[in-house]
Structure 1
Amino acid sequence: MRRPSAIPSPAPPVEPERPAGARPFDGARRRVAGFGIDASAGSEADALPAAGEDANTTAPIPLDRGAPPVPSSTRERAEEQDPAETQGDGPLTARDLWQATRARRRALRTEIRRFTQRSRRRRIGWIVGAALALLVVGGSVGAAYSPLFAVETVTVEGTSALKAVDVQKALSGQVGRPLALVDSSAVKAALVAFPLIETYRLEAHPPHDLVVRIVERTPVGVLQSGDGRFTVVDAAGVVLSTTDARPAGYALIDVAGGTGSKAFAAVGTALRSLPAELRGQVDGATASTPDDIVLKLSGGAQVVWGSAEQSALKTRSLQALMKVNPSAASYDVSSPGVGIVG
């Protein structure tokens, strides 16, 4: 049998013509499937198969075994993705843009509500507090001016010489009025008719009581008029009453110039500084000037008072002298630090 002859080698491939000046395989890149790595042809020798190699065989390509870099942020990962993967198979539509805009606005509103939650709570608290305050004030004012707090009882306190019943009758016109609407001018006009009242104060005691606190004038002596009648006066010279006979327990005041003079004011101050028990023992008081007050006791003793200054201290000095020397004919307290018994 005849031995077969060797298979002739294939003819070398014919290199296609390329433009003048162009480098072989310039810019040619191959993608390795599955790894995303491009290999560039370095030279014609690297690209062509070596002698004796099959033209259909691909030369080994070196691979970088290092792990691909990991993006540092979500934004970078999104930027490195293939546009076809992020945008889908087709282009964006108007509906896609509308949905994206709506989602963005919804997220923005959520963030705004989250950041302004504290201020909104504070604002709601202020509004609720102000509403409650207005409700309380409005309710209080409305109740005060309503018939629910009308005057039903007038109580008079502080009277001794004056009858409380007479004052209550004079103020009966205030009964039925709301406590907040009591007419102070009408009350003053009604109380002026009582000369014994020196000062007064109104107090509203809800729900129905009106209290009148009165300070009466203090009678200090009597003045005898030209017709022989006697007038009871206080330290300011206000006439409290007039009688035909001299009332007991009051000093007969004899001063120059009448109740409007400085001498009378000094005598009134001196008599008012005395306690009620000691004032009742004074039978007369005379003064020609504000500095020469003389008191006459019912037992016949005479008290040199001097001026009205330091009247409280002079009163204590006189009480001490009378306690030590009750039967003395005279007492000089014009200098209260040095009392003299005569």
Structure 2
Amino acid sequence: MRPPARPRAAGTARPRPADEGAARQERGAQEPDRRGRDLQEEARPRPAGRVPARPRQDPQDPPSRPSRPDRPARQDRPATGTTPSAGGRVGVVSDQLADRLAERTAMARYRVWRRIGWTALTVAVVAGVVWAAFFSPLFALDPDQVRVTGEGTTVDVGEVRDAATAEAGVPLPRLDTVGLREEILAMNAVKNVRITRSWPDGLAVALTSREPVAAVPQPGDVYALMDAEGVRVATVEKVPKGLPAIVTSLSDAGAGKRALDAALAVLGALPTELASDVKTVSAATQDDVRTTLSDGRVIRWGSGAEVPLKTKVAQTLLRAEPTATTIDVSSPGLPVTH
């Protein structure tokens, strides 16, 4: 009679692999006998103090492990970079990676060539602009487009124009306006000049001329035309109409020069209506400047200081006392009339 099977402890069930069925069928006939022998061995009394022997395990049986309900069964994971599915999946991933690498290489090459193309285009445009501005006839100076203004009555316009048109054919960006300005300033009667490029092929020359305010007698029966700053503008044989002559003492060159400067300072500060009425100017010293008007009246200015204030006082007295022959404004705060 077969003894009843001994119940197993909870949680000690031995897992069986899925492929164990074939082995079970092969040793199916031997399994009852082996189990019976194992039960008899366990039921046989053992001496005290001896450790019960472990049941023998068939080499063909898989090792038993206690199951752990709190930990899921371990599953075999595929190696990194591979897919265990059938159908050549690993080869497909490799092909996709190669395609992406080739695409990245092509994009990098495209960016390089695009940068090279834009750089070449920029260089070509800059070179074209430089050539058109500095070397082509597009902005070359046209002599017919040169304009000269402000020449006054003493500047030789033809000489100024010749100096400007000597640069005809030179592109305006390359035109040396500084050198041209110095050349024009060296001309007689030119006080100042401003040169402006008139695009695309013109030039504007604005002059400030030195206008004479008096004629100063010179040895040889000639007269030097002087402006308000004492610069000789021209030399003539006769005093021009409407221009007063200055009589100074030439015994002392230094004193005569200071007297002449004082007389020119007075004439240069006079308003147009009063300056045009002056017939002669005398300056015995730098502190005794006198002007004689066309009606014979004399204005004593003293030195060349405070001329604007002295002018206002003199004009007021000329209107207030038309019969006075001499008006002394050397001290504008205390004018005197005779």
Task: Name structure 1 gaps, 5 residues minimum.
Answer: 1-8, 31-37, 40-63, 70-79, 114-119
What does residue range 46-195 of structure 1 map to in structure 2 within 5 Å?
81-83=75-77, 99=94, 140-145=129-134, 146-152=136-142, 153=144, 154-161=146-153, 162=155, 164-184=157-177, 185=179, 188-189=182-183, 192-193=186-187, 195=188
Contact 1:254 1:287 in 2 (8 A): yes
Whole-Å separation in 1 of the counterparts to 2:127 and 2:333: 62
Candidates 303, 308, 322, aligned match of 2:304: 308
For structure 2, the 5+ residue unaligned runs are: 5-35, 43-49, 57-62
- Check the 8 A contact 2:38/2:55 in 1, yes or no: no
Residue in 1 aligned with 2:322? Answer: 326
In 2 relative to 1, CA 88–254 (structure 1 residues): closer, same or farther, beyond 3 Å?
A: closer
Residue-pair matches, total: 271
- Secondary structure of the structure 2 residue equivalent to 1:83: coil
For 1:318 and 1:136, the matched residues in 2 are separated by 69
Task: Choose from 14, 17, 38 the match for 2:37.
Answer: 14
Shift of 1:305: 1.8
Counterpart for residue 278 of structure 2: 282
Percent identical pairs in the alignment equals 31
SS of structure 1 residue aligned to 2:213: strand
Would the alpha carbon gap of residues 243 and 148 (structure 1) be closer, same or farther in structure 2, given more than 3 Å must change? Answer: same
* Matched position secondary structure for 1:304: strand
Report the counterpart of residue 251 of structure 1 in structure 2. 244
Q: CA deviation at 1:187?
A: 6.1
Whose relative contact order is higher, 1 or 2, with alpha carbons under 8 Å and at least 6 apart?
2
CA contact (8 A) 2:248 2:256 kept: no
Letter paired with 1:192:
A
Question: 2: CA distance between counterparts of 1:21 and 1:241?
Answer: 147
Q: Is the 8 A contact 1:205 1:211 kept in 2?
A: yes
Within 2, Cα distance between the matches of 1:277 and 1:191? 30
Instruction: State the distance in 1 between where 2:170 and 2:78 align.
Output: 89
Gap change, CA 1:85 and 1:254, over 3 Å in 2 = closer
Provide the alpha-carbon RMSD of the alignment: 4.6
CA distance change for structure 1 residues 264 and 135 in 2, over 3 Å: closer, same or farther? farther
For residues 246 and 336 of structure 2, the distance between their equivalents in structure 1, rounded to whole angstroms, comes to: 24
Deviations 1:91-114 (A, max 9, x none): xxxx88x949958x96xx8xxx9x
C-alpha change, 1:21 and 1:11, in structure 2 (3 Å) is closer
Q: 1:84 to 1:143 in 2, by over 3 A?
A: closer
- Corresponding residue SS for 1:270: helix
Whether contact under 8 Å (2:139, 2:199) holds in the other structure is yes
Do 1:221 and 1:232's aligned partners in 2 also have CA atoms closer than 8 Å?
yes
Give the Cα separation in 2 of the matches to 1:300 and 1:248.
17
Assess if the C-alpha contact under 8 Å between 2:163 and 2:180 holds in 1.
Answer: no
Q: Distance in 2 between matches of 1:24 and 1:263?
A: 147
Q: TM-score, length-normalised on structure 2?
A: 0.62
